Amino acid sequence: MTDRSIPGSSFYVRDVLDVAPDLPGKFLCRTLPDGSVSVNMITEVEAYRGEEDKACHASRGRTGRTDIMYQQGGKIYMYLIYGMYWMLNIVTATEGIPQAVLIRGIEGFDGPGKLTKHLGIDGSFYGKNIYVPEEIWIEDRGRKVRIGRSARIGIEYADPYWRDIEWRYYLK
DNA sequence: TCAGTGATTAGG
DNA sequence: CTAATCACTGAG
């Protein structure tokens, strides 16, 4: 009877430009420390695609931080920015191709730094699987949504081509 | 508009 | 080792 399913690893082992627009409208679920489950619809994401993407952390190659992006899709890539905010990303594509989707917003928590704070997740989640429904996972509840797109946020430093490309996807 | 804050990275 | 950078946020 249940109208919900949990995308398996194959959902994430696709090009980031196919995975990213499929995420708004799905639900980010998290078992909080008190045992309750937080469920929020994903509202906004961005795609970061390969070493050629000058706004992607992997543009400077494989390092300790970006190593996870080179692994098979479905892993979590966490990183700290400005010394204060943990960013939640989902690795996509097959092994050897560095891609990830940044989760920028969920219902009620608009902003990548705000949602990780609400969910209580940090660098200790680096490398965990998003398709295993234990601590944190994504559910498809059959919601049909309309997706808008725009340039990515906060990458003014990048070359114009990469700065302006419309790889941000959000709920209309 | 602008400072806070610390991991990560490149470079000496 | 040092210094620069940064996929952000909230206060003023």
Report how far apart, in Å, the C-alpha atoms of A84 and of each of A31, A33, A81, A87 are: 23, 21, 6, 10
What pLDDT does residue A34 have?
87
Model confidence, pTM: 0.96
What pLDDT does residue A1 have?
56
What pLDDT does residue A3 have?
81
A63 touches strand B (CB under 7 A): yes
A80 touches strand B (CB under 7 A): yes
Q: Give the amino acid at A74.
A: G
> Who touches strand C, with Cβ under 7 Å?
A 46, 48, 55-58, 69, 77, 81-85, 87, 89, 100, 102, 111-114, 152-155, 157
Which nucleotide is nearest, taking the CA of residue A63 and each C1'?
Answer: B9
pLDDT along chain A (172 residues), means of 10: 88 98 98 93 98 97 98 98 98 98 98 97 98 97 97 93 97 95
